[in-house]
């Protein structure tokens, strides 16, 4: 097996190479690269390896840019410290994601996963494009706070102080955990793309709620769910029937 390592921390790259050599009999580490630019150049000048390890946060940017600038014709295992949502999402896309410091057992499991998918698919299948799209989505920075106007003043509201976002009378509002309401310039559609999907979920056309704000959930008519938050909201919050399955998964 031919393996490529893209990692800008010298000690981390050397440690990973040692672990890969021990985990894969007869492996050839074809190169250790430390940046997006060197990786792009390498892929353009060399045959693709069988497997690559990419650290996401490199000195010259995020490694998903490599996919934008050249063709990556091999499966990739990502190595970095990142959030739990990214870890889960990559696993369901059959690409593993190793958190630093890398554990020997986790590395062995990732290589085993590669061996399993290698026999049933290849980089030309549509699923690999989906993986690239997921990577771009997951490395996007989510807003940690929102700026609102309060009369002549400007206030910054941290995301972890938000109970929910809601629409009312063609306007969009934030409701905070201390039960204050602020009008926003964003639509719910825009907000949905800005918030962390681990922390927030759009339950219907009118509400995006925070995980930590949920006080109770009960069954409702037509296979729907009724959600009660820690403070009373302008309207009842009913999870749309078509969103119930995704909502249950989000809660897990």
- Above 50 in pLDDT, residue 153? yes
- Above 60 in pLDDT, residue 132? no
Say which CATH topology domain 2-138 has.
Answer: Rossmann fold (3.40.50)
Give me the pLDDT at residue 136, please.
52
- pLDDT bracket for residue 247 (50, 70, 90): very high
Give me the pLDDT at residue 229, please.
92
Predicted confidence (pLDDT) per residue in 67-110, tens digit: 888 888 888 888 876 654 455 445 433 467 788 888 899 899 88
Residue 245: CB partners within 8 Å, gap ≥ 6? Answer: none
Same fold, 2-138 and 145-251: no
128 and 78 in contact (C-beta within 8 Å)? no
Span 145-251 CATH architecture? Beta Barrel (2.40)
- Above 50 in pLDDT, residue 62? yes
Strands (E), the chain: 2-6, 28-33, 51-55, 57-58, 61-62, 76-80, 97-99, 145-150, 153-158, 162-168, 171-176, 181-184, 200-202, 207-210, 214-220, 224-229, 237-239
What's the whole-number mean pLDDT along residues 108-136? 64
Domain parsing of the chain, residue ranges: 2-138, 145-251
Q: Cα 130 from chain centroid?
A: 13
The tokens describing 35, both together, are 């940046």
Predicted confidence (pLDDT) per residue in 167-185, tens digit: 998 899 999 999 999 998 8
Residue 75: CB partners within 8 Å, gap ≥ 6? Answer: 51, 52, 95, 114, 117, 118, 123, 128
The Cα–Cα gap between 219 and 210 comes to 19
Backbone angles phi, psi at 130, to 5 degrees: -65, -40
């Amino acid at each position: 097996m031919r393996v490529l390592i893209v990692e800008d921390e010298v000690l981390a790259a050397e440690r990973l190479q040692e672990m890969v050599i021990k985990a894969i009999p007869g492996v050839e580490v074809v190169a250790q690269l430390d940046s997006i630019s060197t990786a792009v150049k390498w892929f353009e000048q060399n045959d693709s390896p069988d497997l690559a390890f990419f650290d996401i946060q490199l000195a010259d940017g995020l490694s998903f840019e490599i996919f934008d600038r050249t063709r990556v014709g091999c499966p990739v295992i990502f190595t970095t410290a990142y959030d739990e949502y990214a870890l889960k999402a990559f696993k369901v896309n059959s690409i593993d994601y190793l958190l630093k410091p890398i554990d020997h057992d986790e590395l062995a499991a990732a290589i085993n996963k590669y061996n399993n998918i290698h026999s049933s698919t290849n980089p030309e299948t549509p699923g690999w494009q989906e993986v690239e799209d997921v990577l771009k989505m997951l490395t996007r920075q989510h807003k940690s706070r929102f700026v609102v106007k309060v009369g002549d003043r400007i206030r910054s509201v941290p995301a972890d102080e938000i109970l929910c976002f809601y629409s009312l009378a063609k306007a969009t509002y934030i409701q905070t955990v201390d039960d204050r309401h602020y009008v926003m310039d964003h639509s719910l559609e825009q907000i949905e793309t800005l918030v962390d999907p681990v922390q927030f979920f759009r339950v219907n056309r009118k509400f995006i709620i925070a995980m930590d704000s949920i006080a109770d959930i009960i069954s409702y008519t037509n296979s729907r769910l009724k959600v009660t938050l820690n403070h009373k909201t302008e309207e009842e919050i009913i999870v749309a029937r078509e969103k119930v399955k995704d909502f249950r998964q989000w809660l897990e």
